Structure 1
Amino acid sequence: MQANFVIRTAKFEDRPVLVRLMALLQDAERELHLNRTLGSKISDGHFAYLEELVREQNGQIYVAESEQHILGFVVCFVEKHDKGDLHIVESEREYGYISDLYVVSTMRKRGVASALMKAAERHFLTLDLQVVRVGLLCNNEPAAKFYKDVGYQPYEILYEKRLNR
């Protein structure tokens, strides 16, 4: 079932709601990996960090809104490989990056996340970028399925090992 909503650029007055949603996203990731800090402890500071990246790296924050309620958000900005990093073809050394995507649980599977992703992709198209990347925790199967469903495929996978002291 599709929801009734619009996608728009985030405004300053959206910030308190977006910080609250960032806390929920952080707590959801904390359930997937122990290295995540409680959302209530970092959401304001982390969101400020993302706002700075958006300003400095030609990004945007989009929100999905329905009847004056924010249903979700996406944070996107441009990433660049170092000038000396020549192993990637030149046309793809600058790429769009989706750093955060969150939709309130009651509105999932209603097209909100897809619409937010399309807004980010349109932003990157206006910048003449050819590639968009998104990261997710390996055991976040619902996110992996969603990204595959909207046309993304695995690019790089990082493995980690916890060292015992």
Structure 2
Amino acid sequence: MSISVRTARRDDVPALVRLRLANAEPHIQLDPASYRVPDAEVVRRHFEELLSAESETATVVLVAEVTGAVVGMLELVPLPVPPDHQILVPRRVADVHTVVLEGHRGEGVGSALVAAAERAAAERGISTLFAGIFTPNEPAVRFYSSAGFGPRGTVLSKDQRAHLDE
């Protein structure tokens, strides 16, 4: 099986929408309080804007194809460099968000996307990639760990919804 990875184009938008929506259901099963199925039209507009010729966003969207069909995507989303007044050493970092269609997991599609994202990040001077996994998701932890990602600090959160209802 041959996997090819390339930068997404505007004509990939329907496939990107399909991938985003397909990714929602397994996440909802993991944590229905945190995840939802986004509106397909809003997702379409997001990707059309992101991939428009006028877009100045630094986000990179990669797609993986198998026999000409898009079966995976990865978004490389640069984060702001810490400002001079903070104690963090200024360096360019980015989040990665990877989606592979269910029938193509375990075939190397995700690994090919991450490898391409690492090259794209290096070309942009990005030194660190983050893969946020916000709910117990052992398959995602295994996947990113196998790609060389490891723990970095601790992210703590506090649900403020009760205060919002007051």
- Sort the TM-score into its range (normalised by shorter chain): 0.7 to 0.9
Equivalence map 1:1-165=2 (5 Å): 3-33=1-31, 34-40=33-39, 43-45=43-45, 47=47, 55-90=55-90, 92=91, 94-98=92-96, 100-155=97-152, 156-161=154-159
Q: Deviation of residue 130 (structure 1)?
A: 1.5
Unaligned runs of 5+ in 2: none
**1:80 counterpart SS class:** coil
**Cα distance between partner residues in 2 of 1:129 and 1:71:** 26
- Per-residue deviation at 1:56? 3.9
Q: Could you tell me which amino acid in structure 2 is paired with residue 137 of structure 1?
A: F
Q: What amino acid does structure 2 have at the position aligned with 1:145?
A: R
Q: Give yes or no for contact 1:26–1:43 (8 Å, CA) kept in 2.
A: no
Shift, 1:137, TM fit = 2.1
What is the alpha-carbon distance in structure 2 between the residues aligned to residue 56 and residue 82 of structure 1? 20
Count of equivalent residues: 158
Structure 1 residues 163 and 62: alpha-carbon distance in aligned structure 2, compared to 1, 3 A threshold = closer
CA shift, 1:26, in A, is: 1.9
Query: Could you list the runs of 5+ residues in structure 1 that have no partner in the other structure?
Result: none
% same residue: 25
Check conservation: 1:57, 1:78, Cα contact below 8 A.
no
Pair 1:130–1:106, CA change in 2 (3 A): same
Provide Cα deviations, 1:66-124, integer angstroms capped at 9, x if missing partner: 2221110001121114425522112x2x21221x2100111111111011011111011
